[in-house]
A = this chain, B = another copy of it.
Amino acid sequence: MRDALVAAAFRLFLERGYEETTVDDIVTLAGVGRRSFFRYFPSKEDVVFPDHERCLADMTAFLATDPDDEPVRKVCDAARLVLLMYAENPAFSVQRYRLTRRVPGLRAYELSVVSRYERALAGYLRSRYAGGRDGALRADVIAAAVVAAHNNALRSWLRSDGKGDAEAMVDHALDQVRTAFAERSVPAVTGGPQDVVVIVSRRGTPLWRVVRELEAALGRD
């Protein structure tokens, strides 16, 4: 029944447009009563994102497991759960992306969904950073950065019609965030030679030569 409604809705949305399709059109095509539509989907927008509720539950369950991991790594792994849901049905995800991009109402609804993920991540980080100075601030900022990085990679994957390697793109994006928010434990001198590299170069040195030196010293990014 749910699936039949989703299928009927997407057929009409794609061939006629979202706002030009009424709930009555959907239920008559699916052959069910109008009342049943709102039994399964609290609003017309919900039929476009039928699996986010389950994904959000999965994420909160994942964040509730043992918190031995490093907090930032944990929320990055949690964000990857969302990508997996999108990657399960690439064709469906791409269609939905195109639909969402051109309908303002759906964009607004997607924002509310994304914010629920972000709130879940921020809530986890707040509990992990509780007590620290600016813990809540740090939690909110990191959650927002993780979500932004994830969405950046996800959208560029969706724009390429799901052709590229979504997981690699998201991994790369999240790595950028991880390094930006890495614990900055060591000042340059006391950190010891393991953490810090010092490069002395003459002004006027060709850039490529310094870069080659850097690649070797820093471990190739």
Contact between chains at A214 and B207 (CB < 8 Å):
yes
Judged by DSSP, the binding face of A is: helix
Question: Hey, which chain B residues are within 8 Å of A143, CB to CB?
Answer: 148
| Identity of the chain B residue whose Cβ is nearest the Cβ of A156 in the assembled complex | B136
Contact between chains at B152 and A148 (CB < 8 Å):
no
Query: Taking the complex as formed, is A65 at the interface, i.e. its CB lies under 8 A from any CB of chain B?
Result: no
Contact between chains at A196 and B201 (CB < 8 Å):
yes
| Identity of the chain B residue whose Cβ is nearest the Cβ of A191 in the assembled complex | B202
CB distance from A138 to the nearest CB of B (A): 7
Interface size, A (range): 35 or more
| Option from B108, B200, B218 in Cβ contact (under 8 Å) with A203 | B218
Question: Hey, which chain B residues are within 8 Å of A208, CB to CB?
Answer: 221
Query: Taking the complex as formed, is A186 at the interface, i.e. its CB lies under 8 A from any CB of chain B?
Result: yes
Surface stretch bound by B, among A26-34, A76-84, A92-100, A176-184: A176-184
A-B contact pairs, 8 of them (CB 8 A): A108-B112, A111-B112, A137-B176, A140-B152, A180-B180, A196-B201, A203-B218, A204-B221
The 9 closest A-B pairs by CB, nearest first: A144-B148, A207-B221, A144-B144, A195-B203, A111-B111, A108-B112, A140-B152, A188-B200, A140-B148
